[in-house]
Amino acid sequence: MAKLPSRREETLGGYVVHGLPFPADTDPDSLAFLKKMAPILIEQEYKITYLHSYGQDSPWFAGLTNRRFLGSQDTKSGYTYANPRGHDMFSGAETEWIDITERPAKVHAFTVCHFGSEEFLPECPFVLALIEIEGVNTLFLTRLMGVDPYQASLDWIGMEVGPNFLRNSKLKPTDVYFSPLEK
C-alpha cells in the first residue's frame, strides 16, 4: 500500500498580502487588538474563461468575419437597421438579414476622441463617426480611419466612405470600420 502524505505540499501562489499584523508574544491579552484590526487584503491575479453567446446577432458577426456588412430589415415596412436587430422596434416583427456592404455611405456626424476606454486608450486620438448608408433608416456608429484627427474639418460631413474589415476578426463590433473612398 502506498504511503499517504502527512503534510500538504506548499507552493508559491502568487499572492500579495496587505495588512497582516500579528503580535510577537503569546500573551492572551495581547490578542485583544485583533477585534480592531483592519481586514486582510489579498491581491491575486484572477482569470476566468467566459463563454458568451451572440445569440440572434451571430449572423452579423459571421458576416463581418467574411467581409460582409449585414443590416436587419423589417420585411413588411422596409425599415432597415445598420446594427444587428432581431425584431423591428415598431411592430415587433422578426427582421431579416440583408447585405448592405456595397451600398453608398457617407459621414453624417463625427467626433474626435482624445480619451477612451482602456482598450482604445493607446489609439487616442481617434475619430468616431455616425455613418449614413443609402436605404438604411438608422446610422451606424464606427471608427473613421484614414483621416487625421488633428486636422478635423466640417468638410468631412457628407464625405463618401466605405466599410473595411479586420483581416483577423476579433468577433467584436470594431471588426468593421469606415474610411474615405478613393476618388
pLDDT digits (tens, 9 = 90+) for 86-106: 999 999 999 999 999 999 999
Per-residue pLDDT averaged across 51-65, rounded? Answer: 90
Q: Answer yes or no: is pLDDT of 119 > 80.
A: no
For the chain, what percent of residues have pLDDT higher than 90? Answer: 58
DSSP letters for 32-88: GGGGGPPPPEEE-----------GGGHHHHHHHHTT--EEEE-TTT--EESS--SB-
467581409: which residue's cell? 67
Return all residues near 9 (Cβ < 8 A) that are at least 6 apart.
none
pLDDT of 25: 64
Q: Answer yes or no: is pLDDT of 47 > 90.
A: no
Query: For the sheet containing 96-99, what is the strand order?
Result: 80-81, 70-73, 96-99
Greatest mean pLDDT among 18-22, 23-27, 43-47, 135-139 lies in 135-139
